[in-house]
């Protein structure tokens, strides 16, 4: 698909900037209408979304319908149900005179013109969920889908103008090289989903204009399995997190620390569940999600080739159609190629480590986006929470903390800044503006501030 020209970028940006300045996006009616239309856009195009994800990633509808269609629709419904509460003025808690007689309040102002840039692994969700936040906040938006999911990108380009207000919400297509032009422009907020490396570029490009950013980045999320865990259940859930989307999930399990005393049992259970998820089709099940492109296939292939660990399950791969079997690699050391970068694929390195060793390794590296502890011991859970940091934590499962309602989803340090979901996403696109009105009669109290200064006034 051809990318938007500079003239098209200029035209789109001028349009949404003028629209924001004309205040049409501020009334709740406009926001509610766009949110409803977003819901209908997803409803009317659900089969096409499923097909696009199948074309881009060979994703099965059992994965795409609940996440990439219903999941976004739920975010729409949540925004529609909460928008009155999110947008209404709030009062500061204190009871001092400015708060009380000055009627101090905090207004929720839209930041203005926003740019939303998304990754390819959930190309609809990562674009539309932030867009829902931007609409709810009253911002205008330029959407930049990922070029690496071209069927999804094409559908987004086609759908959005048919459903949403074109004077306020536009789609721009661009590859990495064209991003410079887009990022030189002045934005009021940039919401970026993607890698930590590109996140740093976005942050640097936003700095000269003091543009605020939300950075939803990657990370090497570990799972720690201790002897107190339900081993079979831990394996079932970790295998699921690696199988889904072929492990191309920002909150996936990157590697597993497992206590040596339970390792063999754990690996046997993992293998059993991978077999189950593949329905015994050890080579290439028709429905398995593929690696997104040649570059990522070669990257994973080379990381696996260079690993000193031993493949104990899977390892089959087909460069032609980018099928990569879920692959367990045992005996991985911390210096291994498989731990040199975020895997973002179906390889599961297993490291021998007790809880203390797992924590010690984890805290010496960037804070991950997600951290998973598999343990039945409250003391072990407390220890993990006390000694580590990460965007979010799920105990005894993976991924699910990102589905908690009204809770922030985001990273910390190298895994990102800012958060979304529910009111937290609304807040990212909102400026909190404090307003106070000072009545004349408050001079009774305020008069002490005026010069000429005197010790008597200072003591008052
Ligand atoms: P990426 O950083 O390569 O690309 C993301 C977006 O940035 C794309 O739209 C791309 O066109 C654009 N881009 C690429 N190079 C650029 C450049 N030099 N300048 C400006 N823009 C550029 O990431 P990806 O490969 O699409 O996605 C995978 C990464 O995203 C992984 O690290 C994953 O963990 C992360 N991710 C994070 C979340 C989250 O919610 N935290 C969700 C999904 C993916």
Locate the ligand 1 atom nearest the alpha carbon of residue 199 and give its number.
Answer: 2
CA-CA-CA-CA torsion sign (201, 204, 206, 208) = negative
Ligand 1 center–CA 191 separation, angstroms: 11
100 sits in the region (left: phi over 0; alpha: psi -120 to 50; else beta) called alpha
pLDDT digits (tens, 9 = 90+) for 214-223: 999 998 999 9
Locate the ligand 1 atom nearest the alpha carbon of residue 117 and give its number.
Answer: 9
Question: What average pLDDT does the chain have?
Answer: 95
Rounded to an integer, the average pLDDT of 396-406 is 95
- Helix, strand counts (H, E) of the chain: 18, 17
pLDDT digits (tens, 9 = 90+) for 176-194: 999 999 999 999 999 999 9
Q: Please state the pTM of the whole predicted model.
A: 0.96
pLDDT digits (tens, 9 = 90+) for 108-138: 999 999 999 999 999 999 999 999 999 999 9
d(CA 242, CA 254): 8
Locate the ligand 1 atom nearest the alpha carbon of residue 219 and give its number.
Answer: 34
Question: Would residue 43 show up in a list of annotated catalytic residues for this protein?
Answer: no
Return the DSSP state at 70.
I
pLDDT digits (tens, 9 = 90+) for 315-360: 999 999 999 999 999 999 999 999 999 999 999 999 999 999 999 9
235 sits in the region (left: phi over 0; alpha: psi -120 to 50; else beta) called alpha
266 sits in the region (left: phi over 0; alpha: psi -120 to 50; else beta) called alpha
Q: For residue 376, which of 234, 273, 183 has the smallest C-alpha distance?
A: 234
d(CA 143, CA 130): 10
Q: Whose CA is nearest to atom 26 of ligand 1?
A: 119
Ligand 1: residues with CB < 6 A are 117-121, 126, 144, 146-148, 176, 179, 193-195, 198, 201, 216-218, 250, 342, 344, 369, 411, 416
* From 126, 153, 250, 342, the catalytic residue: 250
Ligand 1 center–CA 100 separation, angstroms: 47
Q: What is the pLDDT of residue 280?
A: 58
Q: Give the residue, out of 57, 119, 211, 214, with the most ligand 1 atoms within 8 A of its beta carbon, to mutate for a pocket test.
A: 119
Q: Whose CA is nearest to atom 33 of ligand 1?
A: 218
Q: In the numeric block, which tokens belong to residue 176?
A: 């990495």
pLDDT digits (tens, 9 = 90+) for 19-69: 999 999 999 999 999 999 999 999 999 999 999 999 999 999 999 999 999
Question: Would residue 139 show up in a list of annotated catalytic residues for this protein?
Answer: no
Q: What is the pLDDT of residue 286?
A: 65
62 burial level (CB within 10 Å; 0-12, 13-18, 19+): exposed
Q: Is the pLDDT of residue 285 over 90?
A: no
Ligand 1 center–CA 197 separation, angstroms: 8
Taking the CA atoms of the chain, what radius of gyration do you get in angstroms?
A: 25
Higher pLDDT, 280 or 345: 345
Q: Is the pLDDT of residue 426 over 80?
A: yes
What percent of the chain is predicted at pLDDT more than 90?
92
Ligand 1 center–CA 306 separation, angstroms: 25
d(CA 342, CA 255): 9
Q: What is the pLDDT of residue 403?
A: 94
* From 126, 129, 216, 380, the catalytic residue: 216
Q: What is the ipTM of this complex?
A: 0.98
d(CA 231, CA 224): 11
* Phi, psi (rounded to 5 degrees) for 459: -80, -15
pLDDT digits (tens, 9 = 90+) for 353-400: 999 999 999 999 999 999 999 999 999 999 999 999 999 999 999 999
Q: What is the pLDDT of residue 100?
A: 84
What percent of the chain is predicted at pLDDT more than 70?
98
Ligand 1 center–CA 43 separation, angstroms: 27
């Amino acid at each position: 698909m051809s990318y938007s020209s500079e003239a098209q970028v200029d035209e789109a940006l001028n349009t949404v900037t003028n629209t924001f300045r004309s205040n049409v996006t501020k009334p709740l009616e406009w926001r509610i209408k766009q949110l409803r239309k977003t819901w209908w856009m997803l409803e009317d195009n659900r089969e096409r979304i499923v097909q696009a994800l199948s074309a881009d990633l060979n994703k099965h509808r059992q994965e795409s319908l609940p996440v990439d269609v219903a999941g976004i629709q739920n975010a729409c419904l949540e925004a529609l149900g909460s928008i009155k509460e999110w947008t209404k003025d709030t009062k500061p808690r204190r009871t001092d005179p400015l708060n009380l007689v000055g009627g101090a309040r905090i207004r929720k102002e839209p930041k203005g013109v926003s740019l939303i840039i998304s990754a390819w692994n959930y190309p609809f969700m990562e674009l539309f969920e932030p867009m829902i936040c931007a609409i709810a906040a009253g911002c205008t938006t330029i959407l930049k889908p990922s070029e690496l999911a071209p069927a999804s990108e094409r559908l987004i380009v086609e759908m959005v103008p048919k459903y949403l207000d074109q004077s306020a919400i536009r789609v721009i297509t661009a590859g990495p090289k064209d991003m410079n032009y887009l990022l030189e422009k002045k934005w009021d907020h940039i919401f970026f989903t993607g890698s930590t490396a590109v996140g740093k570029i976005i942050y640097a490009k936003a700095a000269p204009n003091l543009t605020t950013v939300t950075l939803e980045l990657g990370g090497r999320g570990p799972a720690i399995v201790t002897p107190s865990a339900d081993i079979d259940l831990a394996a079932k859930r970790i295998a699921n997190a690696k199988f889904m989307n072929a492990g191309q999930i920002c909150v996936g399990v990157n590697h597993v620390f497992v206590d040596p005393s339970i390792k063999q049992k754990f690996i046997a259970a993992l293998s059993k569940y991978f077999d189950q998820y593949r329905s015994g089709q050890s080579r290439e099940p028709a429905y398995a999600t593929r690696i997104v492109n040649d570059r990522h296939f070669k990257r994973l292939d080379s990381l696996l080739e260079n690993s000193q660990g031993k493949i104990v399950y899977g390892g089959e791969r087909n460069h032609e159609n980018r099928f990569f079997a879920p692959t367990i690699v045992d005996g991985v050391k911390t210096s291994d190629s498989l731990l040199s970068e975020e895997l973002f694929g179906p390889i599961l390195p297993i490291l021998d480590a007790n809880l203390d060793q797992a924590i010690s390794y984890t805290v010496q590296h960037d804070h991950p986006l997600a951290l998973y502890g598999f343990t039945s011991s409250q003391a072990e859970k407390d220890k993990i929470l006390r000694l580590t940091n990460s965007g979010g934590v799920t105990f005894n499962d993976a991924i699910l903390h990102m589905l908690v309602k009204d809770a922030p989803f985001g990273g910390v340090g190298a895994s990102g800044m800012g958060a979304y979901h529910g009111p937290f996403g609304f807040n990212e696109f909102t400026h909190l503006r404090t307003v106070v009105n000072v009545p004349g009669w408050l001079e009774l109290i305020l008069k002490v501030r005026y010069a000429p200064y005197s010790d008597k006034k200072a003591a008052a």
